[in-house]
Structure 1
Amino acid sequence: MAEVGTYLYAITLGAGGAPPADVPGVAGAPVRTVTHDDLVAYVSPVPLDRFGEEPLRRSLEDLDWVGETARAHHRVVEAVAGRAPTAPVRLVTIYSSEDQVRDLLHRRRDDFAAVLARVAGRREWGVKVYANPVTAGSPAEGEGLAEAEKPGTAYLRRRRESLRSRDEAWRAAAAHAERVHAELAAVAVASRRHRPQDPQLSGRDDWMVLNGAYLVEEERGEEFTAAVDALRGQGVEVELTGPWAPYSFTAMDLGTADEEDAR
């Protein structure tokens, strides 16, 4: 029989109850709970011949595998977040046993409780702002061309004007993104600006000038979405996602001891 590790999805405060039986975990594994005092960790057993250090390193180079695993991870986290304040754990966090997870809950109980208290009654919304790189356009062919201007000279002039036009378009889009972020952050209780996604992940050639996350009181969700709608147009595209479990606001450094325990 292959060795088995313990995949950790999320930690909740005072959830009690059974794990979501209708939501399978990664690789179709059943979800279980590990408890300590009022903390509950949601876990799954996973075979170490697929989720151990070496096979996992290879799997993480397979974007299809990463996508499938991330979707399964997210389904479990969202099911749990519907019940109680939830701290999602980063993708493919694997311990060698449930006892090590229980020890984590014991050692970091106060830290987890503080994080979970901060996100109680709040959800995360994501906002991305895109701008078309050719918004400002390029000078029309032959525009402003003097009769005596040589073709090579005309090309270089048009090239300079095109680059200047793109620079101006970028500055305008970035300035608008700053205004979007400031207005949405005023509605949220906390906000984060993530790095723009690689076009291979976003599936778009447009500039991503804002990749923001906003922690919003549940009762202000409609107010937040209305604020997003009011910011649409104006030469940019605004994409709203959520509400989600507060992934961007519960990150914790689990410390060297935990990293040694994790496989």
Structure 2
Amino acid sequence: MTTGLRYVYAVCRPFGTPLQAELRGVGGAPPALLHHHGLVAVVSTVPEADFCEEALKAHLEDLDWLAATARAHQGVVDALTTVTTPLPLRLATVFRDDSAVRMMIEAREEDFRRLLDRLHGRVEWGVKVYLEPEPEPAEPEPAAAARPASGRDYLRQRRRQSHAQEEKWQRAERFAHCLHERLAERAEDFRMHPPQNSALSKAPGRNVLNAAYLVPRAHSEEFVELVDRTKDEEPGIRVELTGPWAAYSFSGEESGAEPSVESGEGR
């Protein structure tokens, strides 16, 4: 018989609106609510064979598994965001049973209550700024025209290209800095994340700004309008807005939106 562990998506305060009946979490299991000490852990059962410490180490190498687990995790947290203010836990936080989950709530109760008070009525917006890649030429230049006349000419050509790229990068950094200052004025808090590696994210261009902003839900429309007004300010620079999310970057966990697997097994 296959044994199961308790997977915890988030902690929140009790809420009256039921979750969607068709909502499914990791592995297709429906989420349930575990009430304890006036708090609620949103949980589901997952196979121990997939979520014990040894299995999780192997799954870290399986990007497809990680992506599917992250989508299911985020789907539950997103559903919670429509009915309450959730405090997302790390991807793949699992415990032996409900008793271990209750022990975790008791151990972190003070922090949970403090964070839930702070995040109540607030959402996270993500803003990324990219320096667009150079467009491919319509037709390649003839080899004779493209070939430098001498080694000195070749070095000059490379210096000009390098200087032009550096100027574009500096312009993008100035734009990102000014945009961040304007957005930070409209937000209650922010987190600056490391620029994303384009080879891993598959997003075109070089990531100049990767930030998260904590914004009162009531002020989100103004925040979004401010971002939208900047999108065409600078040619060759792309601004991307994502959200509204649960406040992953402000939850006290390492990350929920950009997964890092942690086993929190209570044994």
- Fold match by TM threshold 0.5: yes
Change (3 A) 1:260 1:197: closer
Give how far 1:2 is off: 2.1
In the alignment, the residues of structure 2 paired with residue 53 and residue 259 of structure 1 have an alpha-carbon distance, to the nearest angstrom, of 6
- The DSSP-based 3-state class of the residue aligned with 1:108 is helix
**Structure 1 residue 25 and structure 2 residue 22: aligned?**
no
* Alignment match, 2:257: none
What CA RMSD, in Å, does the superposition of the two structures yield over aligned residues?
A: 2.3
Q: Which amino acid in structure 1 is aligned with residue 219 of structure 2? A: R
Question: Does the 8 Å CA contact 1:134/1:169 hold for their aligned counterparts?
Answer: no
How far off its partner does 1:150 sit? 4.2
Tell me which residue corresponds to 1:200: 199
Number of the residue aligned with 1:146: none
Whether 1:237 aligns to 2:231 is no
Cα offset, 1:3, TM superposition: 2.4
CA distance in 2, matches of 1:251, 1:21: 30
Letter in 1 for 2:88: P
Is the 1:194–1:211 contact (alpha carbons within 8 Å) kept by the matching residues of 2? yes
Of structures 1 and 2, the one scoring higher in RCO (CA 8 A, sep 6+) is 2
| Shift of residue 205, structure 1, vs aligned partner | 3.5
Compared CA separation, residues 217 and 17, structure 1 to 2 (3 A) = closer
- TM-score normalised over the length of structure 1: 0.87
Given residue 239 of structure 1, which amino acid in structure 2 is its aligned partner? E
- Cα distance between partner residues in 1 of 2:225 and 2:264: 46
CA contact (8 A) 1:85 1:117 kept: no
- Relative to 1, partners in 2 of residues 1:247 and 1:49: Cα closer, same or farther, differing over 3 Å? same
Distance (whole Å) between structure 2 residues aligned to residue 190 and residue 222 of structure 1? 17
TM superposition shift of 1:201: 3.5
Q: Percent identity between the aligned chains? A: 42
TM-score (norm 2): 0.86
| Conserved? CA contact 1:26–1:69, under 8 Å | yes
1:185 aligns with 184
Moved over 2 A (4+): 14-21, 132-135, 258-263
Mapping for residues 136-155 of structure 1, pairs under 5 Å = 150-155=149-154
The answer as to 2:126 corresponding to 1:126 is yes
Aligned residue in 2 for 1:249: 250
CA shift for structure 1 position 260: 6.8
Q: Distance in 2 between matches of 1:200 and 1:12?
A: 36
- Measured in 2, the distance between the counterparts of 1:46 and 1:59 equals 14
Paired with 1:200 and 1:125, the residues of 2 have a C-alpha distance of 23
| Residue number in structure 2 paired with 1:7 | 7
Alignment check: 8 A CA contact 1:59 1:65 kept:
yes
Aligned to 2:43: 43
Matches within 5 A, 1:63-102: 63-102=63-102
The superposition leaves residues 86-124 of structure 1 with CA deviations (integer Å, 9 ceiling, x where unpaired) of 100111111111111111111211110100111101111
Offset of 1:262 from its aligned partner? 4.6
CA distance in 2, matches of 1:74, 1:30: 14
SS in structure 2 of the partner of residue 113 of structure 1: helix
User: Which stretches in structure 1 are left out of the alignment for 5+ residues?
Assistant: 142-148
Deviation (angstroms), 1:6: 1.0
Distance 1:110 1:200 in 2: 41
Instruction: Give the match's secondary structure for 2:91.
Output: strand
Q: Which moved more, 1:195-204 or 1:111-120?
A: 195-204
Give the unaligned 5+ runs of structure 2. 142-147, 255-261
Instruction: Label 1:63 to 1:158 Cα distance change in 2 as closer, same or farther (>3 A).
Output: same
Deviations 1:26-53 (A, max 9, x none): 0111211211122000011111111111
Question: Residues 182, 112 of structure 1: CA spacing in aligned structure 2 closer, same or farther, 3 A cutoff?
Answer: same
Question: Does 114-123 or 124-133 show the bigger shift?
Answer: 124-133
